[in-house]
Amino acid sequence: RPHTEMRQFENSPATVFVPAEQGALREALQRAKKNTTLVLSKGVYEEAEVLVIDVEGLCIVAFDEIPLDGRAPTTIVGNSNLLTGESPLFHIKAKDFCLRNVCLELSSQSPGDCCLLISDKSEASIENCRISAGSKFIGIEIGQYAKPTIKGCDVVRNKIGIYMNDHASPALSHNTIHECGTGVCVTDHASGCCSDSTIHNCHEAGIVATGNSETCFRNNEVRDAGVCGVLFAHESCARVEGCRIHGRHTNGVQAGDAADPFVTGSSVAGALGSGVMLHGRARGFFSLNTVQGSCLAGVGVRDSAAPVFVENQIVGGRTSGLVLLGAA
């Protein structure tokens, strides 16, 4: 039977030291009371079932911070031989929960659908963690009106790095999201804010905003996405403020399907196609942006799109600064 050591500390009802032994973390979670801190040791915790967090005030922390390079000292793994069913590795339902300095991984053949699911109006705090679910699954999914804070995390090698739906309203800041299919995807009336983060080297898009989403993206760097730096679709009203969208993606910013984005104070540079491409009845308001170095048009508008442009700079394009086609 795994051994866990419990000690009393001032300002904390219980602190439990959990060794990296088979079953120790699950046992600690089952025994944990309100406002318990679980301190993880160095090592790998392999999990056979979903870890459900529904105890209020619980905190799971590893004292060793995750290094910039290399495997984290403390890792929780959903193992392909253990985890069963299309379920997350971690499911956070508690309103008050903290996870810090821990790496969450799904092994390459795991049937789980995401590393971390945050739901049920949770206001959890995820800090300085590494999240990696592999190319088939989601790193972090946020839904059901959840309002978590996710800060300083490394979200790497996921199908979607962070997926927000069902009226989620998180605060994301100072994260690095990379080597994913899509970096951040927001849909289904999601709002909240993603700020001061770096999203790079995603195979499809850095940011996708769709499904009536209203998320604000502020002061982020988005670079070297495979298809689009930022894609707006399906009536999204998302905002992009003060972002740098650079690198060798096909289009820097693209909007279609009646999207109505607000883009201001941002720079778009180096697109292999157009810096800004609007189509499919897209609208939108674009002000005080700089578009430069596009291989095709700086701005292309077609297919009944009707955006508003105010005081933007379009410079250094290799063909046309502005192209209007069809019923634009």
Rounded mean pLDDT for each run of 10 residues along the chain, 328 residues in total: 46 80 90 94 88 95 73 80 67 96 80 84 96 92 96 96 96 98 97 98 97 97 96 97 94 96 97 94 97 92 95 85 84
**Predicted pLDDT of residue 73:** 87
> What pTM was estimated for this model as a whole?
0.93
Q: How far apart are CA 256 and CA 108, in angstroms?
A: 34
**Predicted pLDDT of residue 6:** 46
Q: How far apart are CA 6 and CA 18, in angstroms?
A: 9
């009707």: which residue's tokens? 306
Buried b (16+ CB within 10 A) or exposed e, 248-260: ebbbbbbbbbbbb
**Predicted pLDDT of residue 212:** 94
**Predicted pLDDT of residue 70:** 56
- What are the residues whose beta carbons fall under 8 Å from the beta carbon of 69, sequence distance 6 or more? none
26 in Cβ contact with 89 (< 8 Å):
no
